Amino acid sequence: MYITTVRPPRRAVLAGLTLAYAAIPLAAQTTAAPSRDRVEIQLQRRVAGQWKTIDPGTVCEQNDEVRFLFRSNFNGYLYVMNHSTSGKYEQLFPSAKAGEDNRVEAAQEYKVPREGAVFRISGPAGHEIVYWIVTPVRLEEGASAAKYKPLPPPPPPSAAPKIMMPRCDSTIFRARGECIDMSAGPKTLSGTEQDREELTGSRLKPRELVFLRDKDKSVISSSAVLEGPVVYEFRLAHK
């Protein structure tokens, strides 16, 4: 998966290169704020020039153009990394192509990558492992930032992730005609507890995160106030 720019439709205005996100404020909350930290993420695919929200377990095709919608109920800084099926390991966001301002504010919706850019599916069939990290401070600033590590330890240059071939759930395929891989979508971090602690800079354990589905929206929340970053992986399945 790689980042590419898209040609805007006629009469549309292409976002400037320095614009990281197109932020869409949400309606004002009329109820008390939730007591737990919460992140919402949606996967979208571009079809005939229009963006459509799809099931997070959708098995994508080669050259599909996708993006994510991200929202949280707390302020922080967002980092997105990818370990591709070909073994390439890179930071997708922030970056020059996807946008460099990674500050996120509560109750705002953000496009990743920014308006005018897309993620294009490529490489061998399997699962792209997309790491999402939301930290309370910018990684490059502040004394407290030293304990946060923005990237998991990179694999050897020639190593590719263990191949997990996407599989369509037969029941869903018969009912909806869609190829959905139930092992794809947002998951807790794989690896040992030591690996997770090296990545997050904290003792946050996977069981402290709760994963829920609200139609085509994935909701990640914590049963307690998090003292470190929110970290999880999104397995993007493709042929």
- For 61-94, the pLDDT digits (tens) are 999 999 999 999 989 999 998 989 988 888 889 9
- More confidently predicted of 192 and 157: 192
- Give the gyration radius of the chain's Cα atoms: 18
Each residue's pLDDT tens digit, 96-139: 888 889 999 999 999 999 888 999 999 999 999 999 988 888 87
pLDDT class of 141 with cuts at 50, 70, 90: low
Task: Specify the residue for token string 């690996």.
Answer: 195
Question: What is the structure's pLDDT at 238?
Answer: 95
- Report whether pLDDT(144) > 80: no
Could you tell me the pTM of the whole model?
0.75
pLDDT class of 25 with cuts at 50, 70, 90: very low
Question: What is the structure's pLDDT at 20?
Answer: 28
CA–CA gap between residue 79 and residue 102 (Å, rounded): 7
Each residue's pLDDT tens digit, 219-229: 888 777 666 67
- Report whether pLDDT(23) > 60: no
Beta-carbon neighbour count of residue 19 at 10 Å? 15
Provide the mean pLDDT of the chain: 75
What residues contact residue 164 under an 8 Å CB cut-off, 6+ apart?
A: 126, 127, 183, 235
- Report whether pLDDT(46) > 90: yes
Each residue's pLDDT tens digit, 183-223: 999 988 776 555 555 555 555 444 467 888 887 888 888 77
Task: Specify the residue for token string 């999104």.
Answer: 234
Each residue's pLDDT tens digit, 160-189: 556 678 889 998 888 889 999 999 999 887
Contact 37, 221 (CB under 8 A): yes
Q: Kindly state the percentage of the chain with pLDDT values over 70.
A: 66
CA–CA gap between residue 138 and residue 229 (Å, rounded): 11
Our measurement of the distance from residue 227's CA atom to the centroid of its chain's CA atoms, rounded to an integer in Å, reads 21
